[in-house]
């Protein structure tokens, strides 16, 4: 019985030791992404987030997952856009002090406004961005998004010409 217990412990430790750490998963995902293997990159990023949710790489990996879904959604895939927003939301809610949090909040508003044409939700998101990050470098962009929301490119151009007069 003792031999069986020792063997079991050794087997468990062996398999536990075979797993990848957060840095290895990050590097693997980045490499997959560089080689346009987005499904593999998604899998590695997701494994990193699931296995190491409190690691330094977790907010970055979550942000990258959102970016991948956003790029898929730009091909008229509304479900991918909604997944992108879910992951962006996870970044700014779960990792509010990360450098990715402001970008994730901004991108949520961007998708709501420009991809899903949900101006009410976008307005709330951009206002939240301005409130939470009043000195962030993207604050001016958030304000411009608010000021020009729903306008056609021609209307925005006309508005800018009028403002310069």
Q: What is the DSSP string of 47-98?
A: HHHHH-TTSTHHHHHHHHHHHHHHHHHTTT-HHHHHHHHHHHHHHHHH-TTS
What pTM was computed for the model? 0.82
Q: What is the pLDDT of residue 15?
A: 42
pLDDT of amino acid 165: 79
User: pLDDT band at residue 10, thresholds of 50, 70 and 90?
Assistant: very low
Answer whether 34's CB lies under 8 Å from 44's CB: no
For residue 140, is pLDDT > 80? Answer: yes
CATH of domain 20-164: 1.25.40.10
The 10s digit of each residue's pLDDT in 75-111 is: 778 899 999 999 999 999 999 999 999 999 999 999 9
Contact between 139 and 133 under an 8 Å Cβ cutoff? The reply is yes
Q: What is the mean pLDDT of the chain?
A: 88
What are 19-42's pLDDT values in tens digits?
889 999 999 999 999 999 999 999
pLDDT at residue 2, as a whole number = 54
CB 66 within 8 A of CB 84: yes
Burial of residue 44 (number of CB atoms within 10 Å: 0-12, 13-18, 19+) = buried
- How does DSSP classify residue 118? -
Burial string for 116-140 (b: 16+ CB within 10 Å, else e) reads beeeeebbebbeebbeebeebebbe
Q: State the CB neighbour count (10 A cutoff) for residue 158.
A: 12
């Amino acid at each position: 019985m003792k031999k069986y217990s020792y063997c079991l412990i050794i087997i468990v430790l062996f398999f536990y030791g075979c797993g990848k750490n957060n840095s290895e998963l990050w590097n693997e995902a980045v490499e997959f992404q560089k080689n346009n293997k987005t499904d593999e990159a998604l899998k590695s990023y997701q494994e990193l987030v699931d296995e190491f949710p409190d690691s330094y790489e977790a907010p970055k990996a979550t942000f990258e997952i959102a970016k991948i879904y956003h790029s898929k959604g730009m091909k008229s895939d509304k479900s991918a856009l909604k997944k992108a927003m879910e992951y962006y939301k996870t970044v700014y809610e779960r990792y509010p002090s990360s450098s990715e949090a402001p970008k994730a909040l901004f991108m949520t508003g961007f998708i709501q406004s420009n991809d899903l044409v949900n101006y009410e939700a976008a307005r709330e998101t951009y206002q939240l961005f301005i409130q939470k990050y009043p000195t962030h470098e993207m604050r001016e962009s958030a304000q411009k998004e608010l000021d020009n929301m729903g306008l056609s490119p021609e209307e925005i151009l006309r508005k800018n010409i009028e403002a310069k007069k």
